[in-house]
A and B are shown apart, each in its own frame.
Chain A
Amino acid sequence: MTNIVNNKFEVSIGLSRKWNARAAGKEVAKEIIQKLKQPPSFVLLFSTIHYKSHGGFHELLKGVWEVLPDKTPLIGGTIACFVNNYGCFSRGVTALAVSYPNMDVTIGLGKNTKISPKKAARNCSGMIKLGLKNSGYKNKLLINMISMGKLPDLPYFGRIHIIKSKAIGWIATYIGLKVFPYFGYGFGKEEEVIDELSRLIPEYNIIGGSSVDSNDILDNYQFIDKKVMTNCIVALGISIDLPIDMKTTLNLHKTNTKFNITKTSRDGRLIKKINNLPAKKQLLDMLKLNEEQFSEFGPFYYRVSNYLPFIFEENPKFTSGMGGFFGNNIYLGYKSRGKKACLCSITGKDILDIIDDNINRGQTEQYPFVFMSSSSILLNTLGSKSHEIKKMLDTYLNETPYLMIGPITENFGTTNERAIARVYSFNSISFKLSKL
């Protein structure tokens, strides 16, 4: 799939479904390069986690760089699923390459997001600012991938997602959560990274997401240049003469389950008390669930938590998901943004509606490509019906190259509205070609 506009703006989308990491990397890179007349100005590379056990991500990148011209700015990471012009997939590797002369591009990296999210954001934004300091183009865009949280996989305990024991829950809450990040585990803290990024570089439009595995929350990797990283933010800074067109949509239905969060941990990620009573029991009573129904990762996460996102009445644009339980405490994917919480629901139709609302813009504008980021939980909810997304995108975008990535959570912001990290939203970005 390729698009060449006035011999100036070139875009290509690549796909490989090969299982061998090296071969897949080579194939996807060949596909994007062969379709362009000029060398790419940048490449976005996204892969599912499967290559970890089929050669590894270093091999995947080696394959890519066998073909890609040296010094091409490249970022990306692991995601759970993706939709592009070729189909809807939860296994494979995809890439988007752009070539355009009136654009400056640089890459940024911030390490140790789980220990020092703000420092990582500072380092990343510093690199981006430095890399684009001489650029004269006024429109700025930052595309990012951030390492999401990782469940510790410890001997004897396995995946620590739900700890029933109050004593071990206490240890995990007060000691574990402080220690886990030093080993690369624990909360992703993407919202802190994004809050800081949007504060430091408000002149940038921001779109991205959290890299993940197949939604198991055990592993994730980020790609930058020729390196495979983990526990970091990678970003691509773009300065361009074309106007940037972005949109975010969210449509959650409030349920009748509303409650007051009366005690949280200092960082707001753990809910300790609901209506002044132990949080876990209160929540389970409200949901009419018993202990047996959430004793394992699967039933709780895939059957309950995914379908009941939180919103906060004081800041309804923020969403969060329930991660699990530590003793009596509920831990959230993102920190609470208010005291009055409401559980929401989302149906398959709601999901297709937010995509329709986002992409169906009357087609008055010509786009060289469309890049989208939305939570993989939405596609997990739709299952085989995720192919409806592809059908819808084909209808609205026709031959326009497009890539929708499925990180587990997403982030989005414009120069008018500061970026936030959240979940269950659908976000898109493109450039307006009317100037060409």
Chain B
Amino acid sequence: MIDDPILDVLNDLLNYDEILACMVARQNMISVMPDQERFDPKVMEIWDIIKRAMDDVFTVIREYSQAGLSEIEFRLQDYEVLFYVFPDTENALVTIVPALSNKGLIEIEMENARRDILNIINKKEKFENIEIAS
């Protein structure tokens, strides 16, 4: 897990002051998550309710990602949860930012992170295909 390049991308996102938590997840499953000690403690205080709300959103993602759903977000208490869906999958890059933050500039870097993760996934798949073929 330590050498997971997707984890590197997520850890990089956590360096931003306004990104309080982030992960790659799907319904009922967090695929890659940085050390929770790096998450904002206030987010962790309401993590259970955020997690439940996230799972409900993933129902929508599962339903519509094949139809082209690419981004979705909700506001809960003082936070906004942004989902950047990986095309044609049920997985998404999820970040939690303060409500009313300057989202536009954050979104630019979220899109960069989504692209980086996609590249990593594609490379992995390519590598796995080569292994199977050989």
- Chain A positions near chain B (C-beta within 8 angstroms): 19, 50, 53-54, 80-81, 87-91, 214-216, 296, 298-299, 302-303, 376, 379-384, 386-387
| Contact partners of A381 in chain B: CB under 8 A | 104
- In the complex the two chains form, what is the Cα distance from A205 to B107 in whole Å? 34
- In the complex the two chains form, what is the Cα distance from A214 to B109 in whole Å? 12
- In the complex the two chains form, what is the Cα distance from A379 to B102 in whole Å? 11
Q: Is B111 engaged at the interface, CB distance under 8 Å to the other chain? A: yes
B102 and A216 within 8 A (CB): yes
**Given A50-B15, A384-B110, 8 more pairs with CB closer than 8 A:** A88-B111, A215-B102, A298-B102, A299-B100, A302-B100, A302-B103, A383-B108, A384-B71
- In the complex the two chains form, what is the Cα distance from A376 to B71 in whole Å? 22
| Contact partners of A80 in chain B: CB under 8 A | 105
- In the complex the two chains form, what is the Cα distance from A53 to B15 in whole Å? 10
Most A C-beta atoms less than 10 A away, residue of B103, B105, B107, B111: B105
Q: Given that A87-B112, A91-B109 are contacting pairs, would A383 and B16 also be in contact in the complex, using a CB cutoff of 8 Å?
A: no
Q: Is B84 engaged at the interface, CB distance under 8 Å to the other chain? A: yes
Q: Is B106 engaged at the interface, CB distance under 8 Å to the other chain? A: yes
B105 and A376 within 8 A (CB): yes
| Contact partners of A386 in chain B: CB under 8 A | 104, 107-108, 111
Indicate which residue in A54, A380, A384 contacts B102 across the interface (CB closer than 8 Å).
A380
- In the complex the two chains form, what is the Cα distance from A386 to B110 in whole Å? 12
B117 → A minimal CB distance (Å): 14
Q: Given that A379-B108, A384-B108, A384-B110 are contacting pairs, would A214 and B102 also be in contact in the complex, using a CB cutoff of 8 Å?
A: yes
- In the complex the two chains form, what is the Cα distance from A89 to B12 in whole Å? 14
Please, which residue of chain B has its CB at the minimum distance from the CB of A299? Answer: B100
- In the complex the two chains form, what is the Cα distance from A91 to B113 in whole Å? 12
B104 and A91 within 8 A (CB): no
Most A C-beta atoms less than 10 A away, residue of B15, B106, B108: B108
Q: 6 closest Cβ contacts across the A-B interface? A: A298-B100, A380-B104, A383-B107, A384-B111, A90-B105, A384-B107
Q: Is B101 engaged at the interface, CB distance under 8 Å to the other chain? A: yes
| Contact partners of B99 in chain A: CB under 8 A | 298
A260 → B minimal CB distance (Å): 32
B105 and A380 within 8 A (CB): yes
- In the complex the two chains form, what is the Cα distance from A394 to B109 in whole Å? 19
Dominant SS among interface residues on chain B: helix
Q: Given that A215-B102, A298-B101, A383-B103 are contacting pairs, would A89 and B108 also be in contact in the complex, using a CB cutoff of 8 Å?
A: yes
8 interchain pairs, CB-CB under 8 A: A19-B12, A53-B17, A81-B105, A91-B16, A216-B102, A296-B100, A298-B101, A379-B108
B100 and A90 within 8 A (CB): no
Most B C-beta atoms less than 10 A away, residue of A19, A81, A384: A384
- In the complex the two chains form, what is the Cα distance from A214 to B103 in whole Å? 10
A19 → B minimal CB distance (Å): 6
| Contact partners of B100 in chain A: CB under 8 A | 296, 298-299, 302-303
Most A C-beta atoms less than 10 A away, residue of B12, B101, B102, B110: B102
A81 and B101 within 8 A (CB): no
| Contact partners of B103 in chain A: CB under 8 A | 302, 383
B121 → A minimal CB distance (Å): 19
| Contact partners of A382 in chain B: CB under 8 A | 104
Please, which residue of chain B has its CB at the minimum distance from the CB of A306? Answer: B104
A56 → B minimal CB distance (Å): 16
Q: Given that A216-B102, A302-B103 are contacting pairs, would A90 and B108 also be in contact in the complex, using a CB cutoff of 8 Å?
A: yes
- In the complex the two chains form, what is the Cα distance from A215 to B107 in whole Å? 14
Please, which residue of chain A has its CB at the minimum distance from the CB of B17? Answer: A53
Contact code string B89-106 (vs A, CB < 8 Å = 1, else 0) = 000000000011111111
A81 → B minimal CB distance (Å): 6
| Contact partners of A298 in chain B: CB under 8 A | 99-102
A282 → B minimal CB distance (Å): 25
| Contact partners of B105 in chain A: CB under 8 A | 80-81, 90, 214-215, 376, 379-380
A90 and B15 within 8 A (CB): no
- In the complex the two chains form, what is the Cα distance from A215 to B15 in whole Å? 18
Please, which residue of chain B has its CB at the minimum distance from the CB of A87? Answer: B112
A384 and B101 within 8 A (CB): no
| Contact partners of B108 in chain A: CB under 8 A | 81, 88-90, 379, 383-384, 386-387
Most A C-beta atoms less than 10 A away, residue of B100, B101, B104: B104
Please, which residue of chain A has its CB at the minimum distance from the CB of B18? Answer: A214
Please, which residue of chain A has its CB at the minimum distance from the CB of B13? Answer: A91
| Contact partners of A384 in chain B: CB under 8 A | 71, 84, 107-108, 110-111
| Contact partners of B110 in chain A: CB under 8 A | 384
| Contact partners of A54 in chain B: CB under 8 A | 15
